[in-house]
Amino acid sequence: MQIPPDAWASLQQDYLRQAGELWNRTLHESHEGAVAAAAASEPLKDRRFANPSWNDNRLGHFTAALYLLNARTLQQMADQVQGDDKTRARIRFAVQQFVDATAPSNFLAFNPEAQQRALHTQGESIARGMQLLMEDIRRGHVSQTDESAFEVGRNVATTEGSVVFENDFFQLLEYKPLTAQVHERPLLMVPPCINKYYILDLQPENSLIRYAVAQGHRTFVVSWRNPDASCVHWNWDDYIEQAAIKAIEVVQAISGSKTLNTLGFCVGGTILSAALAVLAARGQQPAASVTLLTTLLDFSSNGILDVFIDEASVRLRELTIGPQAPNGPGLLHGQELATTFSFLRPNDLVWNYVVGNYLKGDPPPAFDLLYWNGDATHLPGPMYCWYLRHTYLQNDLKVPGRLTTCGVPVDLGAIKAPVYVYGSREDHIVPWEAAYRNTQVFTGKKRFVLGASGHIAGVINPPAKNKRSHWIGKTAALPADGQTWMKTAVEHPGSWWPDWSAWLASHAGAQKAAPRTPGNRQYTPIEPAPGRYVKERA
């Protein structure tokens, strides 16, 4: 690996020129006095330094400006490194992590805003910050919200329903109808097993579950068990057969409908698709429709997450927590996965809270989405290792017949159901182009909708808020490349939920009287929703 000599020389010249200009400007301002200096200083175009104290304090302004210059230069150097794509991506990622971690705003000695806060509070802000730091050390993670403000079942995950089935892997929730009539085909939602299901049911006003129930769908949701040491032997086939397929069978039995609408979110969409492909190989087509929200099926390129995956890293996981581990399989602990995802956006999800919590002494505000984000879940090692190898590393799932799951070859193209594919434009976990590639995997009718914002905020976008936008193609045509589709897509203001609701209703069948009680004679209610499983903390 090297930087081409001409690029290196150009970077040196640009850096020396800009550093010299910055130094000369700072010296000039120091002679003009504090008032003139504040007026002469160029505002720092970075939200970490937006507080006026960074401009009012000459040393603070110079430190931040020099940092930004150094950061730009390091990033430009990383961009100029010659090498294969993965190596260059890893260098860029490592440089970005270093740059974000070394920002002067992260250190009390260089942060004039935090220093002023300490002076004005006579040191109380530092004392509060130390107290918050000690509390987070006990928790084992940086707090992103006031965790004491929320309780599952009390003010999050409150949509009324019942647990109508459970096994070792999941509880099945059925929600109480909000309409006098419901569609004859029920709706089954499969959320990601790497998080708690209630991202789909945070508050009544932003609950996708409540929205679906209010649209007249008899709604069922998988609530995954949070695995513990007794679950370390669980593998991918178990999640398909004992969870996704079993949930489909129970919903069929309770509703009396041979077909149902299905929805999978993130990894839940991958699990749902694999389960439907297994059933297709067995001659069964239970899905009247499939909705996939920010889901990966074709793992050709997956943005920043690709930097973590290669043969060596997957093999290391297999030898430590996988089925080949010398001491037996183990768990991928939830906090490790949560920390990894946070460092994909370190300024927003890590350093922002380090500065606010510890340097300024401000406890984070109550925010339901971030409470959910901190409610981590474990994963069984064998399941996780299989998933890493056969999806992210080898991209086997999209190839018809390459994988055998639950004893049958998997072919996603054998699923005979219309598919609604959703992607989020700023998604850093499932880039929208990767979500779009799902349209090329299925052979039936497909619809692709692109929403604004990120992996979670793009999905959880209720219509009543009238926020953000979504894009729909001018025609039903879905070219192979997402950027080609985007050239003719039309932007629509507001949430994508009404578009999905209209599409789903067209596959949900006729209306009939809503059931008076949950479950049936075979599957009677076990306990009220949200159930026990979702309350298990990692």
> What residue has token string 């593998």?
235
In the block, tokens 């790497």 appear at 194
Q: How far apart are CA 364 and CA 129, in angstroms?
A: 11
From 193, 231, 266, 406, active-site residue: 266
Residue 41: predicted pLDDT: 59
What angle do helix axes 112-120 and 124-139 make, rounded to 10 degrees? 110
The per-residue pLDDT for 28 is: 77
Q: Which two tokens stand for residue 143?
A: 């707090």
Per-residue pLDDT for 36 more than 60? no
What pLDDT does residue 321 have?
A: 97
Nearest Cα neighbor of 262 from 223, 221, 211, 294 is: 221
Structure tokens at 193: 């097993």
Torsion of CA 159, 164, 167, 169, to 10 degrees: -30
pLDDT, tens digit, 9 for 90 and up, residues 138-157? 988 899 999 999 999 999 99
Mean local confidence (pLDDT), 33-46: 60
Mean pLDDT over 66-93 rounds to 94
Q: Is the pLDDT of residue 34 over 60?
A: no
Establish whether 266 is a catalytic residue: yes
Stretch 302-324: mean pLDDT: 93
pLDDT of residue 27: 83
Q: What is the pLDDT of residues 155-206, one digit of tens each?
A: 999 999 999 999 999 999 999 999 999 999 999 999 999 999 999 999 999 9
Per DSSP, the residues of 209-224 read HHHHHHTT--EEEEEE
DSSP line for 252-291: HHHH--S-EEEEEETHHHHHHHHHHHHHHHTT---EEEEE
3-class SS at 162?
A: strand
Burial class (CB in 10 A: 0-12, 13-18, 19+), 81: middle
pLDDT band at residue 35 using 50, 70 and 90 as cut-offs? very low
What pLDDT shows up at residue 123?
A: 96
DSSP H stretches of helix in 303-429: 311-320, 334-342, 346, 352-353, 368-373, 381-387
pLDDT at 483: 96
Q: What is the mean pLDDT of residues 7-16?
A: 95
Model pLDDT, residue 30: 65
Predicted confidence at residue 31, as pLDDT, reads 61
The answer on pLDDT for 38 being more than 60 is no
Total count of residues recorded for the chain: 538
d(CA 492, CA 450): 10
Three-state secondary-structure class, residue 322: coil
Which of 342, 262, 270, 263 has the alpha carbon at shortest distance from 299? 270
Q: What is the CA radius of gyration of the chain?
A: 26
Q: 319-328 contacts: CB < 8 A, separation 24 or more? A: 320/381, 321/232, 321/381, 321/384, 321/385, 322/381, 322/382, 322/384, 322/385, 323/235, 323/381, 323/382, 323/385, 325/381, 328/232
Note the pLDDT of residue 538: 83
What is the C-alpha to C-alpha distance for residues 117 and 124, in angstroms, rounded to an integer? Answer: 9
pLDDT grade, residue 32 (50/70/90)?
Answer: low
Alpha-carbon dihedral 12, 83, 342, 329, rounded to 10 degrees: -150
Q: Which amino acid is at 43?
A: P
Encoding tokens for residue 29?
A: 């301002």
Q: Where are the domains of the chain?
A: 5-120, 161-301+411-535
Give dist(CA 309, CA 519) in Å, integer: 43
Residues 246 and 394 sit within 8 Å (Cβ to Cβ) = no
Is the Cβ–Cβ distance between 174 and 519 less than 8 Å? Answer: yes
Q: Tokens at residue 171, please?
A: 């509880």
CATH architecture of the domain covering 161-301+411-535: 3-Layer(aba) Sandwich (3.40)
Residue predicted with more confidence, 344 or 249: 249
CA end-to-end span of the chain: 41
pLDDT at 519 over 70: yes
Mode of pairing for the β-strands spanning 187-190 and 287-293 = unpaired
In this prediction, residue 57 carries a pLDDT of: 86
**pLDDT class for 303, splitting at 50, 70, 90?**
confident
State the pLDDT at residue 33. 54
How, if at all, do strands 419-424 and 287-293 pair? parallel
**Which range has the worst mean pLDDT, 4-8, 27-31, 57-61, 389-393?**
27-31
